[in-house]
Amino acid sequence: MCFYPKGMMKIIAINGSHTGKRGYTHFLIEKLFNGAKQEGAECEEITLAKLKINICKGCSVCNTEKHLLKCIYEEKDDVTMIFNKMREADIIIYATPIYVFNMSGLMKVFLDRMNATGNSEDFKLSESGLFFHHISRDICSKPFVTLICHDNFENEMSKNVVSYFRTFSKFMDAPQIGTIIRRLGKLTGYGKDSEKEKQYPKILESYKAIEFAGKELVTKGKISKKTQKTASRDIIPIPFFSILKNFKAFKKKALEKLKTE
């Protein structure tokens, strides 16, 4: 049974990749959307790289009595339009590549603009008991999925972003309904090289799981732990790679092998 009546759920993906629709982040969003659309969801990708997103100046005009919650850039760039789309959505996908151990600059610049939607003088406790202030719940508190991709195979690489969105969830009262981390994009050809995918066939299992995750968002309202695990799985065809990759001695040997090949 559908969690939402067919055609009722709206999902928007905010793509923070600086390469926009040419990139791997877009490819992964499309996979997720394929599944969600099969269950009747209405899906839209918002490509930040194509839009005008000004950097918050920290002027705090948005927190003065006269201009409360009104950013100086309202109507001057595309953020108001994005916030309006977020208001109408049931689920938000925050999709970002890792850039130097963190989310993309563009994604962070966008998220910083949420600051203008909250009244920092109006103190509140978050649902998880954290001391915070008023937020615009219709924008910030939507159930969300974090979709992360990067080239390295280390789990450590995405830790900052995973941690950021956990904190975001707690302060913003936004249910985190799934996290997908797709490592080794470069090695597997960023979804554009079937020859590379033949060398790493487990990547196709991951893509299938990402598609299934899209279905689950509509039918269950969240991505199951099992699907998140398969979608984020290691794809190197070495037995026990997920365990071995935690050992320096194993990596040293692999590195030596790589250098002699």
**Window 72-111: contact mask with ligand FMN (x via CB under 6 A):** -------------------------xxxxx----------
Task: Assess 197 for contact with ligand FMN (CB under 6 A).
Answer: no
Q: Enter the DSSP assignment of 58.
A: -
Residues in binding contact with ligand FMN, number by CB under 6 A: 18
Task: Assess 150 for contact with ligand FMN (CB under 6 A).
Answer: yes
Q: Enumerate the H helices of the chain as residue ranges.
A: 24-38, 79-88, 105-112, 137-140, 159-172, 194-199, 202-219, 225-231, 241-244, 248-260
Min separation Cβ 183 and ligand FMN, Å: 7
Min separation Cβ 100 and ligand FMN, Å: 5
Min separation Cβ 26 and ligand FMN, Å: 6
Residues 6+ apart with CB under 8 A from 150: 97, 98, 157, 158, 181, 182, 183, 185
Task: Assess 185 for contact with ligand FMN (CB under 6 A).
Answer: yes
**226: closest CA among 236, 207, 212?**
212
Task: Assess 149 for contact with ligand FMN (CB under 6 A).
Answer: yes
Radius of gyration of the chain (CA): 20
Task: Assess 191 for contact with ligand FMN (CB under 6 A).
Answer: no
In whole angstroms, give the CA distance from residue 116 to residue 6: 35
**Nearer to ligand FMN (CB atom), residue 25 or residue 63:** 25
Chain residues binding ligand FMN by CB under 6 A are: 17, 19, 23-25, 97-101, 149-152, 157, 185-186, 190
